[in-house]
Amino acid sequence: MTPRTLGASNLKVSPLCLGGNVFGWTIDETTSGKILDGFVAAGFNFIDTADVYSRWAPGHKGGESETIIGNWLKRSRKRSKVVIATKVGMEMGPNDKGLSKAYILRAVENSLQRLQTDYIDLYQSHQDDPSTPIEETLEAYAELVKQGKVRVIGASNFTADRLQESLLVSAREGYPRYESLQPHYNLVERARFEEALEPLCIDKKLGVIPYFSLASGFLTGKYRSEADLAKSPRGQGVKKYLDDRGRRILAALDQVAENTNATPGKVAIAWLLARPSVTAPIASATTIEQLQDLVDAVNLTLDPESVEILNRASAWSGQAGVSS
């Protein structure tokens, strides 16, 4: 497995990023630790979380995922072996959100404390904050980088225009620049990223860390009919994919999976890894078996014919050569 460089930084990351959103939410701390141990034992090093994980769960206040990762780092003594990515900006409480300098400087201390570390490898703006000047946000990050509390910064859920503007401000003012983008991107969600963000990321040599790589489980083939939606609480979230295009994508995944002796989910991850822009897809695992599937996906290389089958089935309306 060849490490990949994140943007123009010197961060070397594995070609798969372990999503930490499930830690303390759908799996407990013990299971989370086993997943983290297995991930590192398999040769991977890239772990993604956020301060807000998992504030949406009843009784949670946010910080649960970072806390579990921090306990694991202390117990395992593997801090030097992993690249920790976390985020700031989503609402953590009254007046605790956004990308103002004051809030970032306060929030990073909370994340560092929960993670039980004195530095964050990749600190990301979780979402754009139009109410705060870009200069102010980047000035805060510049201070943190200078202090050694943050190594590299990244953006998540930005439009191409706002990402481009941020890069221009960094260049003009001499601030650290966003070295990565975390977009919503997978076989069924292609248009928003590929239209404007992908060309920008390639041109500016930004790392790309897609989330929802398996489209909330849809691309594993788990949901093939309305009746299947009841299999999981996430079922209603994939209902929108059960249209003609979604079924075409599943059929293509089945075809390639059969040809490669793999599973649809492994093929969906391998397709992302075959994109020239993608650095490391983010995927979560709640069992060791699921983790093994992710590891296997990284070792699956699709031939050009298989990639074309998937591209054709998932082509989006408005794409060059595709009619509405």
Mind telling me the catalytic residues?
A: 53
The β-bridge partners of 23 are 27
Q: Distance from CA of residue 319 to its chain's centroid?
A: 24
- 151 is written with which tokens? 């190594």
Cβ atoms of 17 and 280 closer than 8 Å: yes
- 230 is written with which tokens? 């009841």
Q: What is the DSSP letter of 148?
A: T
What is the distance between the alpha carbons of residues 20 and 80, in angstroms, rounded to a whole number? 18
Between strands 150-156 and 178-182, the pairing is parallel
Provide the Cα torsion 6, 11, 12, 18; round to 10°: -70
Tell me how far apart the 2 most distant CA atoms of the chain are, in Å: 55
Q: Of the candidates 14, 13, 41, 36, which has an alpha carbon nearest to the alpha carbon of residue 23? A: 36
| Residues 6+ away with beta carbon under 8 Å from 157 | 126, 127, 128, 182, 183, 184
